[in-house]
Amino acid sequence: MFNRRFVLAATAAAMMAATPAAAQVEIQWWHAMTGVNNDVVNKLAQDFNATQTEYRVVPVYKGSYPDTMNAGIAAFRAGNAPHILQVFEVGTATMMAARGAIKPVFQLMAEANEPFDPKAYLPAVAGYYSTSRGEMLSFPFNSSSAVMWYNKDAFRRAGLNPDVPPKTWPEVFEAAKKLRAAGFDKCGFSSAWITWLNLEQFSLWHNVPLASRANGIDGFDTELRFNSALHVRHLQNLIELQRDNTFSYSGRTNTGEGRFTSGECPIFLTSSGFYGNVKANAKFDWANAPMPYYPDAAGAPQNSTLGGASLWVMGGKPAAEYRGVAKFFAFLSQTDRQARLHTDSGYLPITLAAYEQVKASGFYRENPYLETPILQLNNKPPTENSRGLRLGNMVQMRDVWAEEIEAALAGQKSAQAALDAAVSRGNTMLRQFERTVSR
């Protein structure tokens, strides 16, 4: 009997030793980051996982921003959504309207008793992802703004001053012509995200409405306004300049950014978050500058708005798993971590403390290009036209807008006809969205 009890006790002890005291809770994080920024995401997860043993964040790349958002929505409908979904800024209205599909961040942090003060974040960042009552719905992550990157070696070759980049659109056009004459015959200048740069950011930077109702922030019953004389003038300039490749179209998303790092396009407008890839891949002297503007546009330049993405918490998860998400967000908000994330990736520091820490260190004196987007966001106090934008069906509308711009660039429509059609088709989509959320 004694031997039998001894064997049973020994066997039970061995089984307990072989089984972890408690299995780690896995937190799925679906994202759209590529290249150097994908490495940043993986490193953040690894660092968090190393700080504790209760939770394990697992990053999963799900394709482009639209692909990732669509995958997350489809997964929620199928009952297997991730805990955290990275959604680009133009998906904000759609996610806000999906009440049952999301767990608001301000509720998440309060229920988990994690430190969380919306006033700790940059006002332009916090405001974009918050309700009118200041309740933050998603967690700011890779916030950015649009800037103009330029090849300083190419400027020298074309007889341009590399330390005095063009400030206005006419100056960009003239510089691009000189660059093309100096051997950059495939592309004088270009941009990624054709609608983000040339409709959305363009409108705010020039203090003209993209849409009514403060670009949708004050209500879903908004109408598009980007077929104004200034918008038409700008598109007409692009149409004319592309005839000899002074302007060269680079697509609807950021897939053409390699044209800058390869040296093909010496002037390229895209996200400030492009910094990591430029730093890693450009084999020439480079810098960035604020977005250009038309000098005869009243009040320009105004202020830019956010690009990038935030982290949305999906609904329907157990409280224990939400506690892990909250701990991860608290980890991401740490001042030293945000400062390092900013200086490594080029994305904005999301907290005021991180920005002040980087500024006090003197970092911007040696790396002024990382402060460019912050200065743009704070260039002037926001107006009704420049507070940001929040339009439903935005992901789908961008494709419609780009389709019309492409038709104009191909000579199939005039600039006015293309933008009129983009506005009309977009308004139809806005009414569809409005009907959906009002049910």
Q: Distance between CA 372 and CA 342 in Å, rounded?
A: 13
How would you list the strands of the sheet with 267-271, edge to edge? Answer: 189-191, 267-271, 146-151, 286-289
pLDDT-derived band of residue 22, with 50, 70 and 90 as boundaries?
Answer: low
Indicate if 34 and 179 belong to the same structural domain.
Answer: no
Judgement on whether residues 9 and 57 belong to the same structural domain of the protein? yes
Whether 237 and 255 share a structural domain: yes
Same domain? For 137 and 152 the reply is: no
Answer whether the bond into residue 301 is a cis peptide, omega within 30°: yes
Is pLDDT of 401 > 90? yes
Q: Region 250-271: what's the mean pLDDT? A: 96
- Whether cis (ω within 30° of 0) applies to the bond prior to 59 is no
Domain boundary among 360, 378, 395: 360
CATH of residue 187's domain is 3.40.190.10
**Residue 280 shares a structural domain with residue 158:** yes
Q: Are residues 251 and 175 part of one domain? A: yes
Residues 155 and 222 in one domain: yes
Judge if 194 and 132 occupy the same domain: no
Looking at 337, 360, 383, which one is the last position of a domain? 360
The dihedral over CA atoms of 93, 94, 97, 102, expressed in degrees to the nearest 10, equals -110
- The residues facing 271 across adjacent strands are 146
pLDDT digits (tens, 9 = 90+) for 33-62: 988 889 999 999 999 999 999 999 999 999
Question: Side chain identity at 357, as an amino acid letter?
Answer: Q
Kindly state the average pLDDT of the residues 323-328.
Answer: 98
The whole model's pTM is what? 0.85
Q: Give me the mean pLDDT over the 116-128 stretch.
A: 87
Give the total number of structural domains in the chain: 2
Q: State yes or no: pLDDT of 418 exceeds 90.
A: yes
Average pLDDT in the chain: 92
Whether 263 and 380 share a structural domain? yes
Residues 92 and 221 in one domain: no
Range of the domain at 129: 2-144+307-360
pLDDT exceeds cutoff 60 at 9: no
Same domain? For 311 and 240 the reply is no
Give the pLDDT of residue 132.
Answer: 75
Alpha-carbon distance of 439 to 434, in angstroms, equals 9
Same domain, 134 and 192: no
Higher pLDDT, 90 or 403: 403
